[in-house]
Amino acid sequence: MKERLRELEQEAIEKVTTANSLQALQDVRIEYLGKKGPITEVLRGMGKLSAEERPVIGALANEVRAAIQTNIEEKQDYLQQQALEAKLAEETIDVTLPGRPVKRGNAHPLTQIIEEIEDLFIGMGYTIAEGPEVETDRYNFEMLNLPKGHPARDMQDSFYISEETLLRTHTSPVQARTMEAHKGKGPVKIICPGKVYRRDADDATHSHQFTQIEGLVVDKDIRMTDLKGTLDVFAKRMFGEDRSIRLRPSFFPFTEPSVEMDISCKMCDGKGCSVCKGTGWIEILGAGMVHPNVLEMAGFDSNEYTGFAFGMGPERIAMLKYGIEDIRNFYGNDQRFLHQFHRPSEEGGR
């Protein structure tokens, strides 16, 4: 019986040595130490032994069992450690590998143009003003010298919400709101970018929703030459130092006199081409000296204060600057279009 036990110990230890997975090890444990295993069987047969032999065999059986047990545990630790190391090796992060490019978006071209214009005017001491897109008839028209029934209201087909409210047709109501808030005291020096709405059929040059930037300066001794100088700086900064401007007489109910500003055509350098329709000039914006009625209605003394104002369309400016032919490109959200306007700070994985 002693030999049988030693043999079993030998066998089990050999199997532990060759077991190379935790499952194989578990099988050895069940085979040798389980209830139906050979050692249990030996112990069961002890009844047949003499009284002297019994404690000796019993002790030996326990010793063998303990030896196998320890062996299995050591091997188990080893296999577990190995499995952990294999897992760690597999999951190693190579920090020197280049990262996967992250798709970066970029500011919408109109946002970029608006920011560029904002920066330019902030540099000249202007602040940014804003107003509501759902506007009252009073600010959108009346305070701008366009009383009810005024024929010039037809120039701006409107989306009315009720008799007295509409989607603003231009950013000019912010002029009236800002002047009113100043309670008759200058200086006022603002630009106002924002969305405007008109009941137009969409085509390559019209959109029922577009953007505008309004400018307004009110102070003592503001003259037409101040307007011209400001617009000249603006035109050169936006379109190049070699551009020149001209002012043509025009009409807006809220300015007197009113002008339209053209820049010399970059394509033909003023000689006349298809872009400028042979005139050598391209229309950019409307402007003028703030009408005394507008000053008075907003609470300014028109004998003391004068001002100039201008209004422009960032879409038109972007179209001219980048050669975009259809205004609808700005609103189609086509990534192929939008991604062409990455700024240097926005370069990177696209």
Residue 338: HSE in the Cβ half-sphere, 13 Å Cα cutoff: 15
CB atoms within 10 A of CB 216: 25
Q: Interaction with ligand DAH in 161-190: which residues (CB under 6 A)?
A: 170, 172
Smallest gap from Cβ 144 to ligand DAH, in A, equals 8
Can residue 310 be called a binding residue for ligand DAH (CB under 6 A)? yes
Using the minimum distance from each CB to ligand DAH, give the nearer residue, 39 or 261: 261
Smallest gap from Cβ 142 to ligand DAH, in A, equals 14
Q: Output DSSP code: residue 160.
A: B
Give the list of residues 6+ apart from residue 332 with CB closer than 8 angstroms, or none.
none
Smallest gap from Cβ 291 to ligand DAH, in A, equals 9
Q: How far apart are CA 136 and CA 143, in angstroms?
A: 10
Stretch that binds ligand DAH, among 29-37, 111-119, 240-248, 283-291 (CB under 6 A): 283-291
Using the minimum distance from each CB to ligand DAH, give the nearer residue, 24 or 224: 224
Smallest gap from Cβ 254 to ligand DAH, in A, equals 6
- DSSP helix/strand/coil, 154: helix
93-131 b/e with 16+ CB inside 10 Å = b? eeeeeeeeeeeeebbebbebbbebbbeebeeeebeebeb
Q: How far apart are CA 183 and CA 199, in angstroms?
A: 34
Can residue 309 be called a binding residue for ligand DAH (CB under 6 A)? yes
Using the minimum distance from each CB to ligand DAH, give the nearer residue, 8 or 217: 217
Smallest gap from Cβ 312 to ligand DAH, in A, equals 8
Residue 163: HSE in the Cβ half-sphere, 13 Å Cα cutoff: 2
Using the minimum distance from each CB to ligand DAH, give the nearer residue, 19 or 179: 179
Smallest gap from Cβ 346 to ligand DAH, in A, equals 31
Q: Which two tokens stand for residue 198?
A: 């008109």
Can residue 314 be called a binding residue for ligand DAH (CB under 6 A)? no
Using the minimum distance from each CB to ligand DAH, give the nearer residue, 214 or 315: 214
Q: How far apart are CA 139 and CA 143, in angstroms?
A: 5
Stretch that binds ligand DAH, among 56-64, 92-100, 236-244, 306-314 (CB under 6 A): 306-314
Q: Which amino acid is at 298?
A: A
Using the minimum distance from each CB to ligand DAH, give the nearer residue, 64 or 144: 144
Options 286, 297, 298, 320; binder of ligand DAH; rule CB under 6 A: 286
Smallest gap from Cβ 286 to ligand DAH, in A, equals 3
Using the minimum distance from each CB to ligand DAH, give the nearer residue, 281 or 310: 310
| CA 193 distance to own-chain centroid | 19
What Cα–Cα distance (Å) separates residue 310 from each residue in 67, 116, 214, 258, 347?
98, 17, 6, 9, 34
Q: Which two tokens stand for residue 185?
A: 């005291």
User: What does the angle CA 145 – CA 301 – CA 154 come to, to the nearest 5 degrees?
Assistant: 5
Options 5, 179, 190, 287; binder of ligand DAH; rule CB under 6 A: 287
Q: Output DSSP code: residue 168.
A: -
Q: Output DSSP code: residue 133.
A: S
Stretch that binds ligand DAH, among 24-32, 299-307, 309-317, 340-348 (CB under 6 A): 309-317
Smallest gap from Cβ 255 to ligand DAH, in A, equals 4
Can residue 255 be called a binding residue for ligand DAH (CB under 6 A)? yes
Smallest gap from Cβ 252 to ligand DAH, in A, equals 4
Q: Which two tokens stand for residue 334?
A: 């086509």
Name the site residues for ligand DAH (rule: CB under 6 A): 170, 172, 214, 252, 255, 286-288, 309-311
